[in-house]
Chains A and B, each alone.
Chain A
């Protein structure tokens, strides 16, 4: 009897020991399996950002690069101009204007994309399955070529001797070409053109799942077409609209190619400013500071947005 019980005990302890090792092994495997993801996040996300953060608190080197001295100049420079002779700081809005232009262009582009993209997505979602696929395919065609090339085409259309102006002049609508290129309008148009698909696709996805019998239910309950849109379709499609707005707003705010080509040197956006600092300006800390501020702006707007939408959902 006692022998048996000891056997059982030994077996039990062996069993629990093997369980422990199995557990450890599982943990190890998990760590190993996770490693590539963690490493990737670290290498392409955290590490570069940390470098940017550190650089923004250093002094610029004479020929680019940085000097390893702690300095807040990069952040001060954003708002104040240093008089070289008197060494006094005067308030300077030049950079703030660029920030403001970026922000307003991004907002306008997002709203424009929403107003064009929502009807487009709606239209696609009510087509037959076959036509849906064709139309979606057409929406994604611009992605087939590089954004740079597409923006050049935009430039060709908008310039004084471009297709648009030629057409308007030849039709007798205008006497002389309208200076469209190198204006905020051109940049805004370029942004809308570049990012419209990012608005259409998520909205389409949420409308695709939309049960259009809800529309009938709404109008059965005395809702006019407009009320059906605002009280039923838009609230149900809200996740798609939110995703679309975020997907358009963020790249618009940091856009580089579009303002570079269509804004010329005149209509600068944050992206161009950053590029300038790392290139001609040779002021890497300043460039880093602007990049960080851009990131903070995006994060704040996302935070505000998400906060508002979740609160709306709760109420």
Chain B
């Protein structure tokens, strides 16, 4: 049927940013990145510290110029456009609120700079204060606010001019766990209500998975994989992505047949199962790494198409149990069992068990 027309909000075309003179002597912070972020999307850049997330945002905001490549905002080339002429606002990692202004002055600053009239500004500011749920603090100075309140002011300040795209650079990293959870759902709500495209940066994989429409996993300035949280979680294409997001088992195996994305893999222990090939990758054959999530494994009574092993360690983690099991090949495999109403079969350390693998659980990795 009819698909909702998707416009691209931000298009990053083979963009490279090198700090310093050249590739050899400088730092390649962003390395040939291409991304297309659609309108209304909650898009997340996920990656370890120093992988170039902030640099990518700074390129979009206009604080840095790409060494190579180009960036488009709703089809418009941004090259040479200074930050104050881009309809993009940033929530900085360090908030960067103006200390000499009150909360409402901070929020109205962008609107004033746009030359919007006073009555309109006042209306918008009070709407923003409602939105971030702090209208009673309008006249406070910034240094009289808690960290979480400052974070919300930074958000309101960036949202007030109604930008086409909002960039959020690890805005929640300074908050404690509870506030962080609250702000996560608040951000999600704000994005729904305003319909503004959010580009959100985090190095917290759980945050990325719960909040985003799509996630881009970055490493060393490169985007390794882009996809819906489920896709990235269930079907990581590379070992780094698999390792970075969630707990995972990486095992050695041999591809014994490949046919249009369907493949059979033979693990070192002799187990043969269906495997999923990484998307958009050409020929793979021979010995590969495969990834299996611990929760895709379960104990089985049958010895038929299962992996035999010996339980080495059992850890209780509240909502379930975590087993470390040694396979006959000497490899250790993690198995996660959720506690459910009926009592789980109890196992103890040293016991010999058979492990069953769920359908579609074996993901072939590129490297």
**Which A positions have Cβ atoms within 8 angstroms of B?**
211, 213-214, 216-224, 227, 231-232, 235-236, 238
Residue pair A217, B96 in contact (C-beta under 8 Å)? yes
Q: Write out the residue numbers on chain B whose beta carbons fall within 8 Å of the beta carbon of A219.
A: 82-84
Question: B100 an interface residue at 8 Å Cβ cutoff?
Answer: yes
Residue pair B84, A224 in contact (C-beta under 8 Å)? yes
Alpha-carbon distance between A290 and B32 when the two chains are bound, in angstroms: 75
Interface centre among B88, B99, B158 (most CB of A within 10 A): B99
Closest to B94 in A: A213
Alpha-carbon distance between A231 and B109 when the two chains are bound, in angstroms: 9
Q: Write out the residue numbers on chain A whose beta carbons fall within 8 Å of the beta carbon of B158.
A: 220-221
Q: Write out the residue numbers on chain A whose beta carbons fall within 8 Å of the beta carbon of B114.
A: 222
Closest to B110 in A: A221
Alpha-carbon distance between A236 and B141 when the two chains are bound, in angstroms: 14
With A220-B63, A224-B84, A232-B98 known, 15 other A-B pairs at CB within 8 A are A214-B96, A216-B83, A217-B90, A217-B98, A219-B84, A220-B61, A220-B83, A220-B88, A221-B89, A221-B158, A223-B84, A223-B113, A235-B100, A236-B99, A238-B100
Residue pair A217, B100 in contact (C-beta under 8 Å)? no
Question: B264 an interface residue at 8 Å Cβ cutoff?
Answer: no
The 5 closest A-B pairs by CB, nearest first: A221-B110, A217-B96, A222-B113, A219-B83, A219-B84
Subset of 15 A-B contacts with CB under 8 Å: A216-B63, A216-B96, A217-B97, A218-B98, A220-B61, A220-B84, A220-B89, A220-B90, A220-B158, A221-B113, A221-B161, A222-B110, A222-B113, A231-B109, A235-B100
Alpha-carbon distance between A221 and B85 when the two chains are bound, in angstroms: 9
Residue pair B109, A213 in contact (C-beta under 8 Å)? no
**Which B positions have Cβ atoms within 8 angstroms of A?**
61, 63, 82-85, 88-90, 92, 94, 96-100, 109-110, 113-114, 157-158, 161
Alpha-carbon distance between A218 and B113 when the two chains are bound, in angstroms: 9
Alpha-carbon distance between A124 and B221 when the two chains are bound, in angstroms: 33
Q: Is the interface of A mostly helix, strand, loop or mixed?
A: helix
Alpha-carbon distance between A236 and B83 when the two chains are bound, in angstroms: 22
Q: Write out the residue numbers on chain A whose beta carbons fall within 8 Å of the beta carbon of B157.
A: 221
Count of CB-CB pairs between chains A and B under 8 Å = 55
Q: Write out the residue numbers on chain A whose beta carbons fall within 8 Å of the beta carbon of B92.
A: 213, 216-217
Alpha-carbon distance between A219 and B83 when the two chains are bound, in angstroms: 6
Q: Write out the residue numbers on chain B whose beta carbons fall within 8 Å of the beta carbon of A222.
A: 84-85, 110, 113-114, 161
Alpha-carbon distance between A211 and B158 when the two chains are bound, in angstroms: 19
Closest to A232 in B: B98
Q: Write out the residue numbers on chain A whose beta carbons fall within 8 Å of the beta carbon of B96.
A: 211, 213-214, 216-217
Alpha-carbon distance between A117 and B82 when the two chains are bound, in angstroms: 28
Decide: A227 near B113, CB < 8 A? Known: A221-B89, A222-B84: yes
Alpha-carbon distance between A214 and B97 when the two chains are bound, in angstroms: 7
Q: Write out the residue numbers on chain B whose beta carbons fall within 8 Å of the beta carbon of A227.
A: 113
| Min distance, Cβ B119 to any Cβ of chain A, angstroms | 19
Closest to A236 in B: B100
Alpha-carbon distance between A224 and B82 when the two chains are bound, in angstroms: 9
Closest to B101 in A: A235
| Min distance, Cβ A241 to any Cβ of chain B, angstroms | 13
Q: Write out the residue numbers on chain A whose beta carbons fall within 8 Å of the beta carbon of B63.
A: 216, 220
Q: Write out the residue numbers on chain A whose beta carbons fall within 8 Å of the beta carbon of B98.
A: 214, 217-218, 232, 236
| Min distance, Cβ B259 to any Cβ of chain A, angstroms | 51
| Min distance, Cβ B154 to any Cβ of chain A, angstroms | 9
Alpha-carbon distance between A236 and B114 when the two chains are bound, in angstroms: 22
| Min distance, Cβ A262 to any Cβ of chain B, angstroms | 40
| Min distance, Cβ B230 to any Cβ of chain A, angstroms | 33
Alpha-carbon distance between A213 and B63 when the two chains are bound, in angstroms: 11
Q: Write out the residue numbers on chain A whose beta carbons fall within 8 Å of the beta carbon of B110.
A: 221-222
| Min distance, Cβ B164 to any Cβ of chain A, angstroms | 13
Closest to A234 in B: B100
Alpha-carbon distance between A283 and B353 when the two chains are bound, in angstroms: 113
Alpha-carbon distance between A227 and B90 when the two chains are bound, in angstroms: 18
Alpha-carbon distance between A235 and B100 when the two chains are bound, in angstroms: 7
Closest to A216 in B: B63
Alpha-carbon distance between A232 and B100 when the two chains are bound, in angstroms: 8
| Min distance, Cβ A259 to any Cβ of chain B, angstroms | 38
Closest to A214 in B: B96
Alpha-carbon distance between A238 and B96 when the two chains are bound, in angstroms: 19
Closest to A213 in B: B96
